[in-house]
Amino acid sequence: MSTINPHPDRIYLLRHAQAVWPEPTMRDYDRPLSKRGVDDAAELGAQMKANGYVPELILSSSAMRCRQTADAAYRALGRAPTCRFVDDFYQAAPVTYLEALADNADARTVMVCGHNPGIEETLLMLVGSDAFNRACPYGYPTSGLAVLDHAGDCAGADRPQWNLAAFLSPS
C-alpha cells in the first residue's frame, strides 16, 4: 500500500477508453478513441452519474485518448467539475499520479484519467493485491473506473489506507 499525504477523501482512477491502433505516421500520444471507446466512455460516464460518482476535480493525461475519455465523463455528469490536463501523466509511473493527488488534496474527490500500466500499478499500490485481484482478475480494462475511499490511518502507520468501494466498467 502507498502514501498520499495530504489526501482527498475519495479517489477515482480511470483508465482511458479503447483507442484506435496508430497509423504509420501517427504518434502514440495523438491516438483518438475508437468507436467502441467513444461508446464505452459515454456509458461509463452515465454509470458514474447514476451512482453519484461526481468528482470535484478531474486530472487527465493530455494525450488525445485520455482527453476524450475525460471529456465524455465530464459531459455525462451534468455538472461541471474542474478539469486539468497534465502532460506528465503520459506514460507515467504511479508516483506521478500519487504526487498529483497529494498536490490536489484540497479537492475532496479527485478523478485521475490515465494510462496503463501506471493506473493499474497505482490501484495495486493503494488497495493491495487481494482487492485488486477481485476487481481486475484479468487486468485493468479500458474504461475501467476504480472508486477508492479513504479509510483512515492504520494504527502504527503514518499512511492513509484506501478501500476499493466500487469498480465500474462498460458492459
Mean pLDDT (whole number) for 85-100: 96
Q: Binning pLDDT at 50, 70 and 90, where does residue 54 land?
A: very high
Q: Does the residue 79 lie in any domain?
A: yes
Mean pLDDT (whole number) for 138-144: 96
Mean pLDDT (whole number) for 150-159: 62
Q: Does the residue 114 lie in any domain?
A: yes
- Number of structural domains (the chain) is 1
Q: Is the omega angle on the peptide bond into residue 32 within 30 degrees of 0, that is, cis?
A: no
Q: Does the residue 4 lie in any domain?
A: no
Q: Does the residue 15 lie in any domain?
A: yes
Q: Does the residue 55 lie in any domain?
A: yes
Q: Binning pLDDT at 50, 70 and 90, where does residue 3 land?
A: low
Residue 28: the pLDDT is 94
Q: Does the residue 141 lie in any domain?
A: yes
Label the pairing between strands 82-86 and 57-61. Answer: parallel
Q: Binning pLDDT at 50, 70 and 90, where does residue 4 land?
A: confident
User: Is there a contact between 56 and 109 (Cβ–Cβ < 8 Å)?
Assistant: yes
Q: Would the pLDDT of 81 be above 90?
A: no
For residue 52 the three cell numbers come to: 453519484
Q: Binning pLDDT at 50, 70 and 90, where does residue 5 land?
A: confident
Mean pLDDT (whole number) for 6-33: 94
Distance, CA of 126 to CA of 120 (rounded, Å): 10
Residue 11: the pLDDT is 97
Task: Spell out the alpha helix ranges (H) of the chain.
Answer: 35-50, 64-77, 94-103, 118-135
Mean pLDDT (whole number) for 114-142: 95
Residue 171: the pLDDT is 82
Over the range 106-139, which residues count as b (16 or more CB within 10 Å of their CB) and which as e? ebebbbbbbbeebbbbbbbbbbeeebbeebbeee
Q: What's the CATH number where 141 sits?
A: 3.40.50.1240
119 three-state secondary structure: helix
Q: Does the residue 139 lie in any domain?
A: yes
Taking the CA atoms of the chain, what radius of gyration do you get in angstroms?
A: 15
Q: Determine the structural domain holding residue 74 and report its residue range.
A: 10-168
Between residues 39 and 77, the one the model is more confident about: 39
Q: Does the residue 63 lie in any domain?
A: yes
Distance, CA of 97 to CA of 122 (rounded, Å): 7
